[in-house]
Amino acid sequence: MKLNPADAIQDVQNFGEFGGVNPSISDSSTYTFMSAKTMVDTFEGNTDGCHLYARHTTPSNLYLGAALATMEGTEAANVSASGMGAITSVLLQLAGAGDHIVSSRTIYGGTYAFLKNFTPRLGIKTSFVDITKLDLVEAAITQNTKVLYCETVSNPLLEVADINGLSLLAKKYNLQLVVDNTFSPLSISPAKLGADVVIHSLTKFINGSSDTVGGVICGTQEFINELRSVNDGACMLLGATMDSLRASSILKNLRTLHIRMKQHSKNAAFLAEKFHEKGVKTVYPGLPFHPSHKIFNKMMNAEFGYGGMLTIDAGSLEKATILMELMQKKNVGYLAVSLGFYKTLFSAPGSSTSSEIPEDEQQQMGLNSGLIRFSIGLDNDIERTYKIIESCLFEVGVL
């Protein structure tokens, strides 16, 4: 029987130097060698268990990477300084001058800007497509395509990618399917559905305390070794390295991810249903009429639910702004970007996290200026929270 991802993490335990219940933190940027030959061998990648320099590997980073690889069901993982550090390293490892990427058009604004504005300077072209339409994805593939890129649940429109379907296309055309799973940790396991590389921004749900940025790349041991290569590895050479102290604290927070995800999902599902009942335009993959509800059901590890992210349309940017300020005043949550915190966070993506996407393209993909993205918190009594939000919706005239 296959272990569910939370049980798999629970079975990962590394003791500390003095029998500590958490692994010891390696507070060093460089490591000694008893013999010069071992140092040379380590440089050449021929020694297991030796550390060279903290940009390459550290024991703390390896512990966190191993736990996350176990969670995603991949052979290995490499942690990075941020989610963008993971995304840019993977894409630059897999694509070079003359290559082409097919990407979902609804992705995090930073990733969109990287593909649209930055990688063309290096001779890499990207076609942006509606990832939910496999025929359009296939039509965009050219003989130069190397990578299919998407988010399992997209930021901010909450479109859901059919990972199985995309992986069949990736295999047919010999492409790498790279999936950013930041919005759906534990709920969906993309590698088990055929993704070649799975990325997370650890900044969000996985760390869960909005106190650090971090990222991870999960894949085959061969790919992770390539990323770490001292000669041509993007992680080693671009230098987006996680600090050991951070790796250690994220690993401790990972231990409660399953409990947090269940509560985020429970609260978000409750609010989404209430908003919808009241006639507010609501997007949540757990609502039965969400266009990808069935695909989500097919892919999900059901006990973790549909995640903590939902959107509502307040009708205009003006109304969205007044509503968010009011909700913050009434302590529903914070008017802030990012997600996965204990407290509810909300922002208007059109003018914040997705502002890198030109206005006409935002409109084409259905990103209205009145859209508010919520990352629902861990509130103990979500009915009480709903009543406060309802009073704000009335005051602003959304209800």
Q: Supply the Cα-derived Rg of the chain in whole angstroms.
A: 21
Cβ-contact 55, 30 below 8 angstroms: no
**Residue 346: strand pairing partners:** 335, 374
Coil vs helix vs strand at 111: helix
Residue at shortest CB range from ligand PLP: 83
Cβ-contact 1, 59 below 8 angstroms: no
In whole angstroms, the minimum distance from the beta carbon of 114 to ligand PLP comes to 10
In whole angstroms, the minimum distance from the beta carbon of 150 to ligand PLP comes to 10
For residues 276 and 132, what is the distance between their CA atoms, to the nearest angstrom?
A: 23
Contacting positions for ligand PLP (CB under 6 A): 82-84, 108, 110, 151, 155, 180, 182-183, 201, 203, 213, 215, 353
Q: Which is nearer to ligand PLP, 23 or 333 (CB)?
A: 333
Local structure of residue 356 (DSSP, 8 states): T
For residues 24 and 320, what is the distance between their CA atoms, to the nearest angstrom?
A: 47
Cβ-contact 39, 207 below 8 angstroms: no
Q: Which is nearer to ligand PLP, 87 or 314 (CB)?
A: 87
In whole angstroms, the minimum distance from the beta carbon of 250 to ligand PLP comes to 11
Q: Which is nearer to ligand PLP, 65 or 315 (CB)?
A: 65
For residues 55 and 30, what is the distance between their CA atoms, to the nearest angstrom?
A: 9
In whole angstroms, the minimum distance from the beta carbon of 135 to ligand PLP comes to 25
Q: Which is nearer to ligand PLP, 177 or 213 (CB)?
A: 213
In whole angstroms, the minimum distance from the beta carbon of 202 to ligand PLP comes to 7
Cβ-contact 374, 344 below 8 angstroms: yes
In whole angstroms, the minimum distance from the beta carbon of 288 to ligand PLP comes to 25
In whole angstroms, the minimum distance from the beta carbon of 129 to ligand PLP comes to 18
Q: Which is nearer to ligand PLP, 99 or 180 (CB)?
A: 180
Q: Which is nearer to ligand PLP, 155 or 249 (CB)?
A: 155
For residues 347 and 204, what is the distance between their CA atoms, to the nearest angstrom?
A: 15
Q: Which is nearer to ligand PLP, 110 or 307 (CB)?
A: 110
Cβ-contact 257, 373 below 8 angstroms: no
Which two structure tokens, joined as six digits, stand for 286?
């757990």
CB environment 350-374: b (16+ within 10 A), e (fewer): beebbeebeeeebeebebbbbbbbb
Q: Which is nearer to ligand PLP, 284 or 386 (CB)?
A: 284
For residues 222 and 249, what is the distance between their CA atoms, to the nearest angstrom?
A: 27
For residues 347 and 209, what is the distance between their CA atoms, to the nearest angstrom?
A: 18
Residue type, 259: I
In whole angstroms, the minimum distance from the beta carbon of 104 to ligand PLP comes to 11
Cβ-contact 224, 78 below 8 angstroms: yes
Coil vs helix vs strand at 351: helix
Q: Which is nearer to ligand PLP, 186 or 393 (CB)?
A: 186
In whole angstroms, the minimum distance from the beta carbon of 274 to ligand PLP comes to 25
Closest by Cα among 47, 46, 53 to 31: 53
Q: Which is nearer to ligand PLP, 155 or 187 (CB)?
A: 155
In whole angstroms, the minimum distance from the beta carbon of 158 to ligand PLP comes to 11
